[in-house]
A and B are shown apart, each in its own frame.
Chain A
Amino acid sequence: MSTSGSENHTNYLNDGYGVKSWLLTTDHKRIAILYMISITLFFMIGGFFALVIRLTLLSPNGTLVSADTYNKMFTMHGVTMIFFFLIPSIPAVLGNFLVPMMIGARDLAFPKLNLLSWYIYVLGGIFTLSAMVLGGVDTGWTFYTPLSSGYSHTNVVPTVIGVFIVGFSSILTGLNFIVTIHKMRAPGLTWFRLPLFIWAHYATSVIQVLGTPVIAVTLALVGFERITGVGIFDPNIGGDPILFQHLFWFYSHPAVYIMVLPSMGIVSEVVTCFSQRKLFGYRQMAFASMAIAVFGFLVWGHHMFVSGQSVYAGMAFSALSFLVAIPSAVKVFNWTATLYKGTIRFNTPMLYAFGFIGLFTIGGLTGIVLATLPVDVHVHDTYFVIAHFHYIMVGGAVMGYMAGLHFWWPKITGKLYPEGLAKFSALTLFVGFNLTFFPQFILGYLGMPRRYHIYPPEFQVLNVLSTAGASILGLGYIIPFFYFMWSLRKGKVAGNNPWNAKGLEWLTPSPPPTFNFDKTPVVTEEAYAYPEEDLAGG
């Protein structure tokens, strides 16, 4: 693939070209590529559903699609984006590629298990896609009972089977990371020398391993109730619908941290590299990641402030939700402080990292609004919530993914993307994102409920603004797709370390050889050991 003589080394990309060499690979880097292709596919499918949603909402009368079709669109948008794109995005692609490289290992601890987890992902994807092809599902991605377990006439069972299966992929990846990070660190790479990306993936893996079984069992019970009629969640046959919500959010709240923690890890890598500066408050950052993972398990009830749960339970969950905001705030402060007295370059990954910091700050602070009990009563299940979690998941998680993709693209492919076009599309994404989702905060406080395809006419202008923003946002995703493809053939050769970055992954050639390092590296310094005093004016 490479044309340059110096780049013509044996690497993981030219080590076998056949289909078999990819589909039966146990190389974590190739598996990462398989994941990258699969999740991009699901991102496009989910994006198509979003397009239909936004087009429908241009008019208050919901004339574009029928109520049933609209309900299927937002359900399948949520299911694909959350379970098949966001949750696997950073861990399964960038994590898979980089965790072994960053700790100086040849591969993950269980390479075959890693391949298996991709096949499980594909199998789950096939079930869910076939549910969509068979006519779709209309329960909302939250699958609330008894609507999902008894009343919906759509393809609930194949969908929950798909989500059930894909959960195992997530569990296995998490397990693989935990073992790898514990057992395979290079000599000298102590816990407090690990890059924050590794800490973030460690915290994420803990959530994946402990949380995912709960959603798997819960959704299995929904399918079981649907098929057998045994009362678990439907009160007509002796079940408890609120029980479902407790079980569902016990996983699905921590799942938000599965999406955003790895992004935080990426931002730490990018901010330090493009400031040429040691991370401010390294230990606090590491502890903050773990604190988020632990506290994240104790806040699920904040999704249920109007569900009829006890007032005192509401208060306890509210207090705990405020607490989980603290480590996130600490992270934002530390990134900002890292810039102080740095030597800052504005390459595309850094622009995305800035985007992350800004949008995550807004997303996080509006999370504080939602943790505030009486205000949540008003904005619960309105567009305020939609805006908030898109600021976290798209503004946060996806911005982080884009930062990481640009940052490590030269390492992954050996090629540089076109910097000018990339900066332009980062800016497009930022503007489009805010125009799409900021009006939704206002809509939400005005009281527009989510999951409405027809709405009172006074909400139309804000909805039109949002749709206009979404088209710009869409452009911001399409441009990178094309220049990344372009760069594979025409991009400039990157070299080992185009960003002058610290970290073991930059010591090895780009693209890396099959077993990453010719010689196991020995670590003698802390993470981000950029030269203390970069002389000014250079």
Chain B
Amino acid sequence: MFNIPLFPTEASTTASRVDLLFFALMGIIVLFTTLIFVGVIFFSIRYRRGSRASRKGATSENMKLELAWTIIPLCITMGIFIWASKLYFDMHVPPKNAMDIYVVGKQWMWYIQHPEGNREINTLHVPLGKPVRLILTSQDVIHDFFIPAFRVKQDVIPGRYTTEWFQATKLGEYHLFCAQYCGTGHAQMVGTVIVMQPWEYEQWLAGKSSGVTMSSSGEQLFTQFGCVTCHRSDNTGRGPTLVGLFGKKVLLQTGQTVVADMDYIRESILDPRAKVVATYQPIMPTFKSQIDQAQLMQLIEYVKSLGGSQSASKGNKK
């Protein structure tokens, strides 16, 4: 009659690992809850007022017992901590071959760009069995990209990039929820994740593509906003060249060095004077009011396409 779901689908490589840990915790919970409940009920009945059970030798101090029930839970929790930390760490380090998909959250929808140029709203197509890294940002308030079937969740924050990765293991359509309360339409900021066979995914990419990849859209913006006049590829412009920049260390005027990651490039476009490269003048104007989040991601894709340290580009900013 009623189809009451009791456990969510496992549809990613992470899901089964999280569930295993969850089951271990459930075992511990059942064990300790039973221990306490049985103890309370048994003592209550045996030592109820009027019962003839002997009260001889009642004590209210027992250091050995106190130490035991301090140290045993401590050891159990520390064991879980180590197990959990390992998995948490793995959940933050995407495999080197992960493909990137860009996500912008805004009140109240998800705008998704594939590097091949496909764009979609509130739907995310991904191939089966391939690691996918999402690069997320928000245009307004904090959102959260939550796919229960994959056991992944990440806050989507204005003013910075966060990442989330998964590898789907099961074909199908899964819920996508915004998990961080974001105002009126929070409960409508939902969508569908569609896991397809890799060849179907390729077909989908080709069929729905605008024909313009993200990096070529970025290149157009690079010309349109006049970036190209200063950031020349031969390094003779008034600004530093962007060729081979991505993921490299950059020496600043202040003598500090920073890694040219996505956040750095984004900041340099929106607030150019925050980190000025050594030997260059702080003459670049801000493009804050001209470029939106989706375009920023295209520009970053373009800068990435100019080469640089690929390993750094996959590393997670932490």
Contact = CB atoms under 8 A, between A and B. Distances in A.
A275 B51 CA distance: 13
A235 B28 contact: no
30 contacts: A71-B181, A71-B186, A152-B183, A281-B60, A281-B66, A308-B162, A314-B88, A315-B89, A325-B73, A336-B43, A340-B58, A341-B47, A341-B55, A344-B43, A371-B77, A374-B88, A375-B22, A377-B18, A377-B88, A381-B146, A381-B179, A446-B148, A447-B146, A447-B148, A449-B146, A458-B5, A461-B2, A461-B4, A538-B49, A538-B50
Nearest to A283: B61
Given A68-B184, A281-B65, 14 more contacts: A147-B141, A150-B141, A281-B66, A284-B66, A318-B85, A332-B36, A339-B47, A374-B151, A377-B153, A378-B153, A445-B8, A446-B6, A449-B179, A532-B58
Interface string A364-393: 011011011111011011100000000000
A374 B142 CA distance: 21
B88 A339 contact: no
B227 interface: no
Given A330-B69, A536-B52, A449 B7 contact: no
A536 B53 contact: yes
B3 A458 contact: yes
A118 B301 CA distance: 59
B55 A533 contact: yes
Interface of A: 62, 67-68, 71, 138, 140, 142, 144, 146-147, 150-152, 234-236, 240-242, 275, 277-282, 284, 305-308, 310-312, 314-315, 318-319, 322-323, 325-326, 329-330, 332-334, 336-346, 354, 357-358, 361-362, 365-366, 368-369, 371-375, 377-378, 380-382, 442, 445-447, 449-456, 458-459, 461-462, 532-538
Contacts of A343: 47, 49, 55
Contacts of A442: 6
Contacts of B8: 445-447
* A-B interface, 10 closest residue pairs, ranked by CB to CB distance from nearest: A447-B148, A235-B159, A373-B88, A341-B58, A339-B43, A322-B77, A452-B187, A278-B60, A381-B179, A147-B141
Contacts of B151: 374, 377-378
B160 A339 contact: no
Contacts of A280: 60-62
Contacts of B241: none
Interface class of chain A by DSSP: helix
B150 to A, nearest CB: 9
Given A147-B182, A322-B81, A330-B66, A236 B158 contact: yes
B179 A368 contact: no
A146 B158 contact: yes
Most buried by A among B8, B47, B57: B47
A162 to B, nearest CB: 20
A67 B177 contact: no
A333 B39 CA distance: 9
Interface residues of B, dominant DSSP: mixed
B116 to A, nearest CB: 27
Contacts of A325: 73, 77
Interface of B: 2-8, 14, 17-18, 21-22, 25, 28-29, 32-33, 36-37, 39-40, 43-44, 47-58, 60-62, 65-66, 69-70, 73-74, 77-78, 80-81, 84-85, 87-89, 91-92, 107, 140-142, 144, 146, 148-149, 151-155, 157-160, 162, 175, 177-188, 318
Contacts of B49: 343-345, 538
Contact of A138 (B80, B153, B162, B184): B184
A15 to B, nearest CB: 37
Nearest to B177: A449
Contact of B40 (A306, A319, A339, A454): A339
B36 A144 contact: no
A382 B179 contact: yes
A459 B177 CA distance: 14
Contact of B7 (A277, A369, A445): A445
B212 to A, nearest CB: 29
A279 B187 CA distance: 49
Nearest to A459: B5
A275 to B, nearest CB: 7
Nearest to B179: A381
